[in-house]
Amino acid sequence: MNDESQQSDSAQNQAALNVKVMVIDDSKTIRRSAETLLKKAGCEVITAVDGFEALAKITVHKPDIIFVDIMMPRLDGYQTCALIKNNQNFKATPVIMLSSKDSIFDRARGRIVGSEKYLTKPFSSEDLINAITTHVAHA
């Protein structure tokens, strides 16, 4: 790795410090990899396996940004996002949709329920950090 790319990596890591991030995904692998990538970048990470667990944790932890998988049992990502955006306390919290589906319909539906961005799986640490620095004011 050359000095320039190391500086760019550390600049990105510095940018994400002190951001509280929630990752909602029914896949343990996705939750773990996102948590690892985000913690390396200096974020505090809260995870949830589905929308119901997430809604309970959001009120306690008050994340700065939320990444939510679309395809989940019980309460899917669209429903979860809509509930977050309909809550006065959390409607300003950025919600980033995560999905392996990449159709224009899926992206449009994400926008309709209030998501700020749509990331397609597999995502990179750069995708996550860029979403945070773009959508969180103090990142």
> What does the mean pLDDT of the chain come to?
88
DSSP state of 19: -
Listed in sequence order, the residues at least 6 apart from 77 whose beta carbon sits closer than 8 Å to its beta carbon are 24, 51, 68, 69, 70, 71, 97, 98, 99, 110
> What confidence category does residue 17 fall into, taking pLDDT thresholds of 50, 70 and 90?
low
pLDDT of residue 101: 85
Q: Structural domains in the chain?
A: 3-135 (3.40.50.2300)
Q: Structure pTM?
A: 0.87
